[in-house]
Amino acid sequence: MELSRDYSIDPVLLLKEYGLRITPQRISILSHMNQYKMHLTAEQIYHAIKDEFPSLSVATVYNTLKAFIDAGFVKELRVGDHASKFDLNLIPHHHLVCEKCGHIEDFHFIDLPIDKIANMHNFHVRHYHLEINGLCANCQEGHPSYIHQNQIS
């Protein structure tokens, strides 16, 4: 289930490849996102690297992430009232989203008839992303009725 996290990125090469300015802050943000292998909020990234860059602000981190999103290799994930999480999206993948704690997990296996759906609607698919909402393993404890009521049988 963690296939997309098996690769490592070289931040400098990545920035070069996408024609973005290479700065120590950008390198540090990308290294951190790559190292922690999970979906992080801008605040989490900020706190992880702020000691390296005394003049850094959360706004700068946001703007940098926006530039990465525009370039196409970072995806912003919004979950209810939780702060947006940012995801290195070099290998397309899908998400299981916990509505209670905001935890997001990656998954890759999918067997949707995308071609058929596209034909039915005469739709030209550029990319797709599946989000499954519910409760993560941790949040299910103490919520047996919720699970039962929403069981797919």
Site stretch for Zn ion (CB under 5 A), options 48-56, 66-74, 100-108, 124-132: 100-108
Residue 112 φ/ψ region, left for φ over 0, alpha for ψ in the -120 to 50 degree band, beta for the rest = beta
Q: Dihedrals φ, ψ of 110, to 5°?
A: -155, 140
- Report the relative pairing of strands 104-107 and 94-98 from DSSP bridges: antiparallel
**What minimum distance in Å lies between the beta carbon of 134 and Zn ion?**
9
Does residue 3 bind Zn ion (CB under 5 A)? no
CA distance 29 to 32: 5
**What minimum distance in Å lies between the beta carbon of 54 and Zn ion?**
31
Q: Which residues pair with 3 in a beta bridge?
A: none
Question: Which one among 28, 40, 45, 106 touches Zn ion, defined by CB under 5 A?
Answer: 106
Does residue 74 bind Zn ion (CB under 5 A)? no
Site stretch for Zn ion (CB under 5 A), options 23-31, 61-69, 98-106, 107-115: 98-106
CA distance 65 to 93: 19
The CA radius of gyration of the chain, in Å to the nearest whole number, is: 18
Does residue 103 bind Zn ion (CB under 5 A)? yes
- Residue 26 or 85: which CB sits closer to Zn ion? 85
| Site residues (vs Zn ion, CB under 5 A) | 87, 98, 100-101, 103, 106, 136, 139
